[in-house]
Structure 1
Amino acid sequence: MAAATTDRNFCGICRKAKGISKCEGCSKIFCYNHFVDHRQELNQQLDEVEVTRDIFQQTLSEHASELKYHSLEQQINDWERDSIEKIWQTADEGRKLLLKYTAKSITDIEITLNQLTEQLKQSRQANDFVETDLCQWKEQLIQLTDELNKPSKITIRQDSKALVNKIYVAISTGKCC
């Protein structure tokens, strides 16, 4: 019967005609000793896959528990910091300009008030004033008060162009294979 044995009954390792087991995964035939070796090799490979899986699972757990350290989230944090900095800087520039103009405006109001005070003193001393003078002085005080409380030359406007560009999170839904 040995002459009737085909290549399919030979062990894939030692080529002896004692092939008794076929591996369903690789379709090779092995003798008993080599089949045990083959199974041990497969078990070692499975162990390696499990170790790799365990390492990946640990990495995944770390990422899940520390999402704030993700590089994409860092990009959002950087955008936020830069945007806030631009806003603070723009607001600070506006405050400085407002303070500068307000100081000049107050100085101008003080000069006008001093002139009015001088007119009032002179009119009182000379006892030379009429009703129209009183109306004019009252109107001047109202205008100075209005200018102090709501400066007519100062307004706050917003530019139509965005100071900060909005960011978006784009998620691709492309599926592979």
Structure 2
Amino acid sequence: MTSAAVKKFCATCRQHGDVFTCRGCRKAFCAKHIDEHRDTLSKKLENLAEELDLLRNGLNQENEAQSFLSMVDKWEQESIAKICLAAENARTEIQRWIDRNNIEVKIPFERITNELRSCQQTDDYTEIDLRRWTQQLEEYRSKTEKLPIVNIMNDGDSDTIHLIRLGEIIDQMQSDSMTYSTPILDNTSMNIEETTLLVREKFDDVIGSAVLLEDGLIATYSGAWLGDSSIFGINVYSTGTHHIRFRILEKFYDSPFFGIITASQKNKKRVLESVSANGWWNFDFPIVNGEKENRVGKDKIIRAQDDITLTLDCERKQIFVKHHRTKRLLHLPIDLRACPFPWKVLVVLHRRGDSVRIIGGTLSLTRENISSRLSEHRKM
């Protein structure tokens, strides 16, 4: 403020007399109102100081940061515990298989070997013994080929370990154009973009009345009240182990058929009667080489919104189906004479409104398959 008195009008009371001019706003005030003007500036300064204090407190997030770090530590310990438990369960299962293999194969095999060598040394054997040893040898060879399957599957169960990352919540304020970002910890699965070497399974060809939606991820029966609509996957499978996960969106009576068929036979009208059709129509009733059991009845296991994973183990010539809600796993060996490679995924819907979605899965390749696809990729 300036102390020089001049003959001007007071900006507040408009009285003429001795006034003082403010250096900030350049307005003149009388002796009475210059103090009020000063009080007004003082209150504005105090309000600004309070806002700065609030902002400073908001910027001091050390306690909140420590809370985030504690959440990460807890997630780490829980994940390690899950991994240790899963590893211990796997060791137990493998050891159980080793013990069973010793009892069922190794010990009897050594006994037969000793008997054969003893008879060979004493020259005491006949055609009957040779046939018996040959039959036993074939049985043991078949057992030794059935090795345990060890796969890492992302099947979406509740005990899946999720990655933890830092995300942001963007709150668009309606009163103005400002946006505010608040960091949060987001416990979610990492989204990895699919490489060009792997093609995610989806529905492709249809025989019968069915519509495909969402770029082939959903198949829905659209024909008469009762009938068969056969829907085929886009991929063909000859090597490796493949896991395709389905969700049953709707079903009226029978469960959809989940299985495989030889790719060259997929154009037949009555697909499930094809000799290469293998899988499950209702959970407990398999179809083997196009033939089903006469006792197939109403499915009492599979419900709408259930998840099913179909596993194609090409290396060991077998398929599996897992029902996630009940955690049941069924197995079906495949006769390549009836169902030769390459295979295609086959889903058959039976009643109007039945609907199935492909929700994901994994695709594991053999070393030869990877090398071949890498070579093709480099040429592109």
Scaled by the length of structure 2, what TM-score is found?
0.29
Structural mapping, 1:1-177, within 5 Å: 8=13, 20=20, 31=31, 34=35, 38=39, 41=42, 45=46, 48-49=49-50, 52=53, 56=56, 60=59, 69=65, 71-72=67-68, 74-75=70-71, 78-129=74-125, 137=133, 144=140, 147=143, 152=146, 154-156=148-150, 158=153, 160-162=155-157, 163-164=159-160, 166=162, 169=167, 171-177=169-175
Aligned partner of 2:96: which letter? K
Task: Tell me if the contact between 1:22 and 1:30 (Cα under 8 Å) persists in the aligned partners.
Answer: no
Tell me, in whole angstroms, the C-alpha distance in 2 between the residues paired with 1:170 and 1:44.
34
Gaps of 5+ in 2: 1-9, 176-380
> CA, structure 1 residues 174+41, in 2 after alignment: closer, same or farther (shift >3 Å)?
closer
Tell me, in whole angstroms, the C-alpha distance in 2 between the residues paired with 1:82 and 1:125.
62
Tell me, in whole angstroms, the C-alpha distance in 2 between the residues paired with 1:42 and 1:23.
18
Aligned partner of 2:13: which letter? R
> CA, structure 1 residues 18+138, in 2 after alignment: closer, same or farther (shift >3 Å)?
farther
RMSD of aligned alpha carbons: 5.1
Task: Tell me if the contact between 1:20 and 1:30 (Cα under 8 Å) persists in the aligned partners.
Answer: yes
Tell me, in whole angstroms, the C-alpha distance in 2 between the residues paired with 1:93 and 1:154.
14
1:32-59: CA deviation from partner (whole Å, max 9, x where unpaired): 7736963883596378359627x818x7
Gaps of 5+ in 1: 11-16
Task: Tell me if the contact between 1:9 and 1:19 (Cα under 8 Å) persists in the aligned partners.
Answer: no
Q: CA deviation at 1:111?
A: 1.9
The sequence identity of aligned pairs, in percent, is 16
Aligned partner of 1:155: which letter? I
Tell me, in whole angstroms, the C-alpha distance in 2 between the residues paired with 1:155 and 1:9.
96
Q: CA deviation at 1:159?
A: 6.9
Scaled by the length of structure 1, what TM-score is found?
0.52
Task: Tell me if the contact between 1:19 and 1:30 (Cα under 8 Å) persists in the aligned partners.
Answer: yes
Greater helix content: 1
- Name the SS for the 2:125 alignment partner: coil
> CA, structure 1 residues 171+42, in 2 after alignment: closer, same or farther (shift >3 Å)?
closer
Tell me, in whole angstroms, the C-alpha distance in 2 between the residues paired with 1:132 and 1:170.
78
Q: Relative contact order (C-alpha < 8 Å, sep 6+): which is higher?
A: 2
Tell me, in whole angstroms, the C-alpha distance in 1 between the residues paired with 2:169 and 2:45.
39
Q: What is residue 13 of structure 1 aligned with on the other side?
A: none
Q: What is residue 349 of structure 2 aligned with on the other side?
A: none
> CA, structure 1 residues 175+85, in 2 after alignment: closer, same or farther (shift >3 Å)?
farther
- Name the SS for the 1:173 alignment partner: strand
Tell me, in whole angstroms, the C-alpha distance in 2 between the residues paired with 1:174 and 1:37.
38
Tell me, in whole angstroms, the C-alpha distance in 2 between the residues paired with 1:122 and 1:92.
43
- Name the SS for the 1:160 alignment partner: coil
1:44-88: CA deviation from partner (whole Å, max 9, x where unpaired): 6378359627x818x74x65xx7x935456545544543343233
> CA, structure 1 residues 78+19, in 2 after alignment: closer, same or farther (shift >3 Å)?
farther
Tell me, in whole angstroms, the C-alpha distance in 1 between the residues paired with 2:174 and 2:93.
57
Tell me, in whole angstroms, the C-alpha distance in 2 between the residues paired with 1:44 and 1:161.
58
Tell me, in whole angstroms, the C-alpha distance in 2 between the residues paired with 1:172 and 1:120.
78
* Structure 1, 44-53 or 114-123: larger mean CA deviation: 44-53
Tell me, in whole angstroms, the C-alpha distance in 2 between the residues paired with 1:134 and 1:42.
110
> CA, structure 1 residues 140+31, in 2 after alignment: closer, same or farther (shift >3 Å)?
farther
Q: CA deviation at 1:114?
A: 3.2
1:13-47: CA deviation from partner (whole Å, max 9, x where unpaired): xxxx976467999x9x6627736963883596378
